[in-house]
Structure 1
Amino acid sequence: MASSADTVVVLDFETTGLSPDHGDRAIEIGAVKMVNGVIVDRFQQLMNPGRKISFFIENYTGITNGMLQDAPTCEEVMPDFAVFIQDFNLVAHNASFDARFLRSEFNRIHRQQNEPFACSMLAARRIYPDAPNHKLSTLVEYRQLPSDGNFHRALADAEMTALLWNAMLDDIQTRYGIEHISFQLIQELTRTVKNAVPKYLSRAKQHRKYS
């Protein structure tokens, strides 16, 4: 499994609701595979959850019941996605949400989810504490990243998260001079108290622990 923070799979789920523990299911998966910061592959698929989705979800995502009617089931899609993410670390914006759905859908095909996750939202809270908030759309505007303004479709959100992820890695390199940023560094950064972030990153460079 690649250890560099710029070699990852960035993923996003659209779902019927907020929690698989309450019976919610995935209705779309989108992901981009990045190697050395460059997108080299994409994965996108609608998934029929086996029941109607609400008007709210239709309006929020732009995914309609008609679009899902003939889509494959999650059980059909997830084996292909397991192959797509194999040997890669994972990134998502609000990763706890996506990780719960990934584990839930993998459980249905008797597959364990063992790939490490990092959360771009938690990382952004440490790198961009002055942003108005840390929603993906806000951060894209705050960081002045190119965007067509389309959000809440899985592949579009995964691609924007990938752009944000690369921007954060660039900003860490520029501010703190850490030439090589490992995936572990970002994981530990997201667990670091906000006011201790500058000291943490300066110490990481000084000790050359992650470079």
Structure 2
Amino acid sequence: MPSPIAVIDFETTGISPGQGARATEVAIVLLQGGRVVDRFQSLMRTGAWISPFITQLTGITNAMVAAAPEATAVVREAARFVGAAPMVAHNAAFDRRFWQAELALADLPAPQPFACTVLLSRRLYPQAPSHRLGVLVDYHGLPRTGAAHRALADAEMAAALLARMQHDLRTRWGVAAPDHALLVALQRCARPAVGALLARHAAAPVPPAAA
């Protein structure tokens, strides 16, 4: 059985923790062998103010986070939930910054490598009309799991997109074991070299753990 991958999504008060933004909600979906095997979701109380614009976008209010668990407790539980699993997010640069920042505030390390379904979709589906999550979900005929801009709904959709990518890597490109390491290599690969990279992996033997 392949190792699990943790697909994460944050809702936040702004675009960057470096500018003082904090997380308001986190959701993590564990994907293993193309199937969701577990889920984690929680609002987070940080004391940061949520603007009317963010409330309109996400539906998350200041009153909701005031009644939520304290952020340090949430992120500690989230870190236990993820364990050693490598991570994936849609527009991973955004979620990685908040994951690292919130873990740092809880005095926890953030060692996991991230893969990004935006970068991967640009390599695998350059013909897609857009690489936004909702557009890709509709493009592939995947189910919409809830309101956009809520963490669990977005994490579920990103996990479904990742599962579709792994399925296509197996069936269209002949990659027997499309693991996280391959995803990271693929997202770093220049688009003209994608075919050669996948051909090399298609010719490689299947690791025993993935057989």
TM-score by length of structure 2 reads 0.93
Q: In the alignment, is the contact (CA less than 8 A) between 1:50 and 1:73 conserved in 2?
A: no
Tell me how far apart the structure 2 counterparts of residues 179 and 12 of structure 1 sit (CA, whole Å).
28
Instruction: Check the 8 A contact 2:35/2:163 in 1, yes or no.
Output: no
Q: Which residue of 2 aligns with 1:63?
A: 60
Q: Which is bigger in relative contact order (C-alpha 8 A, separation at least 6)?
A: 1
Q: Between Structure 1 and Structure 2, how many residues are aligned?
A: 208
Kindly state the Cα deviation for residue 52 of structure 1 after the two structures are TM-superposed: 2.0
Deviation at 1:51, TM superposition (A): 2.8
For 2:24, the equivalent position in structure 1 comes to: 27
**Residue 179 (structure 1) aligned with residue 165 (structure 2):** no
- Aligned partner of 2:165 in structure 1 is 168
SS in 1 for 2:128: coil
Using the TM superposition, give the Cα deviation of residue 17 of structure 1 relative to its aligned residue in structure 2, in angstroms: 0.3
Q: Contact 1:102–1:113 at 8 Å: present in 2 too?
A: yes
Give the AA of the match of 2:199. S
Give 1:155's aligned residue: 152
Counterpart amino acid of 1:198?
G
- Contact persistence 2:34–2:167 (CA under 8 A): no
Larger CA deviation: 100-109 vs 195-204: 195-204
Distance across 2 between alignment mates of 1:134 and 1:102: 22
Cα distance 1:66–1:40, how it changes in 2: closer, same or farther (>3 A)?
same
Deviation at 1:100, TM superposition (A): 0.5
**Partner residue of 1:36 out of 13, 25, 33:** 33
How does 1:22-171 map onto structure 2 within 5 Å? Answer: 22-148=19-145, 150-171=147-168
Q: Residue type matched to 2:46 in 1?
A: P
Is 1:198 the equivalent of 2:186? Answer: no
Query: Which residue identity does 1:119 align to in structure 2?
Result: C
Q: Secondary structure at the match of 1:77?
A: helix
Percent identity between matched residues is 43
Give RMSD over aligned pairs.
1.7
